[in-house]
Amino acid sequence: MTFSSIVLQFINGLAGTSSLFLVAAGLSLIFGVTRIVNFAHGSFYMLGLYVAYSAIGFFGTTILGFWGGIVAAALVIGVLGAVIEILVLRRIYQAPELFQLLATFAVVLVIKDAALGIWGPEDLLGPRAPGLRDAVTILGGNVPQYDLALIVIGPLVLAALWLLLNRTRFGILIRAATQDREMVAALGVNQKHLFTAVFFLGSLLAGLGGAVQIPREPAQLFLDIAVIADAFVVVVVGGLGSIPGAFLAAFIISVVKAFCIGIGDVTILGFDVSFSKLTLVVEFVIMAIVLVVRPWGLLGRPQGQQRGAGMLSQPLPQIGRRFLLIAGSIVVLLALLPALGDRYLLVLLIDILIFALFAASLHFLIGPAGMVSFGHAAYFGLGAYGAALLLKQAGLPMELALLLAPLVAGAGALLFGWFAVRLSGVYLAMLTLAFAQIVWSIAFQWDAFTGGSNGMVGIWPAEWLSSRTVFFYLTLIVCLGAVAGLWRILYSPFGYAMRAGRDSPLRAEAIGIDVRSVQWFAFAIAGLFAGIAGALFAFSKGSISPDLLGIPRSVDALVMVLLGGVQTLVGPVVGAAIFTWLQDEIARATEYWRAILGLVILLLVIAFPQGIAGFAGRLLARRRSAQS
């Protein structure tokens, strides 16, 4: 790279910084105060673009019309965010941590279909900014004037936010709530108003972040997913709740990306290295490095004490006779189902059983082990890839591949877990996400070995297992056996140690439990069992591709666990069954299946803030106590 191209790429990086910062700042505020992992933030960004497109079309492409349209879009999205907070999230603040994530996931589905319904399927490229249509020449290269405007807008918003947070009463409340929201409540601050205001502000920033992209990218329906992961990465790298941190992180990520592109393909020590291909995953690599070196992000502080977090989950009840009786009869019923002769029912049940095991393995991690993972698909996918690679590349018989594949996932979990258990809370969750994305990008890129973006086909079960009925029995035995195995572990000495470590790390350490090692092995066990599910999945579909390792797959698993209820053992199984079945039924019934699915989840969320199985469990417990 010449000097001029270094300077120009740096300027490109700065323009990117502003774009990333705007969307991340809002997310950081919302998370800092409400502790909600707001998946809908990317949707607000996407809507910001769409609304700005329409508003500018309405006001006309004058200077006033353009910037008026952008401000109007930001305000509209701010109000929308506040409305969603009031209508949905406010009802479920009492629910266990993370549960709100489920509601925001449903909002994503609804907004996506709503945008499709309102604006249609075609990408909408907005106008260039009036007055800033062209480029200026810097060191012989052309830089769009609008990029220079963005470079100013980002720091301006940063300064405004800094003033708001440090020089106003509202700002003091936000900072106080970020540090310790129980204490703020105890001091008599109206939390409802505070949360709504923060949601308004955060959503407004997301909308603004989208709206200012109007001259740079078309409004399109992919944006929600594309943006949300990046925004989270920026927030976490910068340090949760730290606005200057978010700016710094946005700066680092954007500049590194610009230089990866600028450097392009080079030969290092005789190896061809393509830095442009690295852009696929570079932000996650940065995040992994930052989290390993600085567990609280660049400018973040250790998270405040979460009072009562341990108190929320009751100790697991002993598995009683009645439970075994009911579970046994359900298994018998399931085993009789092939007699009905409906082959598709078996196909659907195979999916449900596999996802039930996948969800149960995630639940093992989130619930009893107390570690949230946003990247659990990595182990599901490693199991599936392990099976495919052992079958195709190593030429093993299918039965052996199925048997050994989970070990691949277990080994992966053992490796990543070693790093992950050194962190806690959302930082841990994001590190698991980073690892999952790194694994995903390797599978995606490594054509010769993993089949690249296409994946691999021809991963069918052995002849004697190829009938759906036989494969159903195999799945039934393996999945139920594995779920039972996971439950058994919970009641073993190891399980008690694990639960002790979650509820009170200090006391657990004091009685001689090596909490970190226990967590590490728990992580590996969860990965191993997810790998069993993944391997079965590969053979049930006959093919694998990188989507098995992707973020949506991890999110699905989280949704299943939360839908069923984190605090019950059967929760994830119930959640997996209902989610898979709902998706199958609704997708067949209507074109706008995503919106309907989202609305159904929203209803379930509001009706059963403990999860469905959690609700049922409470009902039973109440009845039992009434009887006695």
Partner 1 sequence: MLTRRGVLTAAAFSTVLGLGLPALAQSTIKIGEMNSYKVFPAFLDPYKKGWELAVEEVNAAGGVLGKKIEIVSRDDNGTPGDAVRVAEELVSRENVVLLVGTFPSNVGLAVADFAKQKKILFIAAEPLTDKIVWEAGNKYTFRLRASTYMQTAMLVPEAAKLKKKRWAIVYPNYEYGQAATAAFKKLIKEQQPDVEFVVEQAVPLNKIEAGPVVQAIADAKPDAIFSSLFAADLAKFVREGNTRGLFKDMAVFNILGGEPEYLDPLKDETPSGWYVTGYPWDQIKTPEHTKFKDAYMKKYNDYPRLGSIVGYSSVMSAVAAIRKANSTDTEKMVAAMKGLTHSTPFGDITYRALDHQSTMGAYVGRLAQKDGKGVMVDWTYADGAKFLPSDADVKKMRPAD
Please report whether residue 337 would count as binding partner 1 according to CB under 8 A: yes
Among 42, 78, 207, 215, binds partner 1 (CB under 8 A): 215
HSE-up of residue 151 (Cα within 13 Å, Cβ side): 14
Q: Which x/- pattern, by CB under 8 A, does the window 554-573 give for partner 1?
A: ----------x-----x---
3-state secondary structure 192-233: HHHHHHHHHHHHHHHHHHHHCCCCCCCECCCHHHHHHHHHHH
Q: Which of 467, 498, 31, 443 is nearest to 228 (CA)?
A: 31
CA distance 263 to 53: 34
Q: Compare residues 343 and 507 and give the one whose CB is closer to partner 1.
A: 343
Among 133, 167, 488, 622, binds partner 1 (CB under 8 A): 133
How far is CA 626 from its chain centroid? 41
How far is CA 92 from its chain centroid? 19
Q: Compare residues 85 and 351 and give the one whose CB is closer to partner 1.
A: 351
Q: Compare residues 125 and 500 and give the one whose CB is closer to partner 1.
A: 125
Q: How many residues bind partner 1 (CB under 8 A)?
A: 100
The single-letter code of the amino acid at 379 is Y
The single-letter code of the amino acid at 589 is A
The interface with partner 1 within residues 145-184 (CB under 8 A) comprises 146-147
51 secondary structure, DSSP code: H
Query: Exposed (0-12), middle (13-18) or buried (19+): which is 317, by Cβ within 10 Å?
Result: exposed
Please report whether residue 607 would count as binding partner 1 according to CB under 8 A: no
Please report whether residue 401 would count as binding partner 1 according to CB under 8 A: no
Please report whether residue 222 would count as binding partner 1 according to CB under 8 A: yes
- Nearest-approach distance from CB 612 to partner 1, in angstroms: 6
Q: Which residue has the tokens 């019923």?
A: 333
Tokens of 431: 């590190």
Among 58, 63, 142, 152, binds partner 1 (CB under 8 A): 142
Tokens of 115: 């945008």
From 64-72, 239-247, 400-408, 445-453, give the range in contact with partner 1 by CB under 8 A. 445-453
The interface with partner 1 within residues 526-545 (CB under 8 A) comprises 537, 541-545
The interface with partner 1 within residues 346-385 (CB under 8 A) comprises 347-349, 351-352
SS3 of 609, please? Answer: coil
Please report whether residue 514 would count as binding partner 1 according to CB under 8 A: no
SS3 of 266, please? Answer: strand
- Nearest-approach distance from CB 452 to partner 1, in angstroms: 6
Q: Compare residues 9 and 38 and give the one whose CB is closer to partner 1.
A: 9
Q: Compare residues 58 and 323 and give the one whose CB is closer to partner 1.
A: 323
Q: Compare residues 144 and 209 and give the one whose CB is closer to partner 1.
A: 144
CB atoms within 10 A of CB 397: 11
- Nearest-approach distance from CB 417 to partner 1, in angstroms: 26
Q: Compare residues 500 and 586 and give the one whose CB is closer to partner 1.
A: 586
Give Dmax (Cα) for the chain. Answer: 85
Among 479, 577, 596, 604, binds partner 1 (CB under 8 A): 577
Helix axes 41-59, 3-34, angle to 10 degrees: 110
Contact between 113 and 48 under an 8 Å Cβ cutoff? The reply is no
How far is CA 210 from its chain centroid? 20
3-state secondary structure 12-23: HHHHHHHHHHHH
- Nearest-approach distance from CB 588 to partner 1, in angstroms: 7
Q: Which residue has the tokens 């003091």?
A: 172
- Nearest-approach distance from CB 384 to partner 1, in angstroms: 9
Among 98, 360, 489, 548, binds partner 1 (CB under 8 A): 548
The interface with partner 1 within residues 102-131 (CB under 8 A) comprises 112-113, 116, 120-125, 128
Strand intervals (E) in 230-379: 265-268, 271-274
Among 154, 381, 455, 531, binds partner 1 (CB under 8 A): 455
Among 169, 321, 588, 623, binds partner 1 (CB under 8 A): 588
Among 149, 306, 547, 618, binds partner 1 (CB under 8 A): 547
CB atoms within 10 A of CB 493: 9
Please report whether residue 345 would count as binding partner 1 according to CB under 8 A: yes
Please report whether residue 416 would count as binding partner 1 according to CB under 8 A: no
Please report whether residue 620 would count as binding partner 1 according to CB under 8 A: yes
Q: How far is CA 387 from CA 243, 614, 623, in A?
A: 44, 35, 46
- Sign of torsion over alpha carbons 480, 486, 489, 490: negative
Tokens of 548: 């098995």
SS3 of 143, please? Answer: strand
**Contact residues for 141 (Cβ-Cβ < 8 A; gap 6+):** 4, 5, 8
Please report whether residue 549 would count as binding partner 1 according to CB under 8 A: no
Radius of gyration (C-alpha) of the chain in whole angstroms? 25
- Nearest-approach distance from CB 212 to partner 1, in angstroms: 14
Q: Compare residues 389 and 426 and give the one whose CB is closer to partner 1.
A: 389
The interface with partner 1 within residues 246-285 (CB under 8 A) comprises 257-258, 261-262, 264-265, 274, 276-277, 279-280
Please report whether residue 143 would count as binding partner 1 according to CB under 8 A: yes
CA distance 15 to 600: 40
CA distance 552 to 440: 12
- Nearest-approach distance from CB 468 to partner 1, in angstroms: 8
Please report whether residue 574 would count as binding partner 1 according to CB under 8 A: yes
Query: Exposed (0-12), middle (13-18) or buried (19+): which is 486, by Cβ within 10 Å?
Result: buried
Q: Compare residues 354 and 525 and give the one whose CB is closer to partner 1.
A: 354
Please report whether residue 585 would count as binding partner 1 according to CB under 8 A: yes
From 82-90, 155-163, 488-496, 581-589, give the range in contact with partner 1 by CB under 8 A. 581-589
- Nearest-approach distance from CB 550 to partner 1, in angstroms: 9
Give me the helices (H) in 216-315, please.
Answer: 223-238, 243-263, 275-278, 282-293, 309-312
- Nearest-approach distance from CB 177 to partner 1, in angstroms: 34
**What are the backbone angles phi and psi of residue 59, rounded to the nearest 5°?**
-75, -20
- Nearest-approach distance from CB 200 to partner 1, in angstroms: 29
Q: Which x/- pattern, by CB under 8 A, does the window 465-494 give for partner 1?
A: ---x--------------------------
Q: Compare residues 83 and 348 and give the one whose CB is closer to partner 1.
A: 348
Among 54, 100, 104, 220, binds partner 1 (CB under 8 A): 220
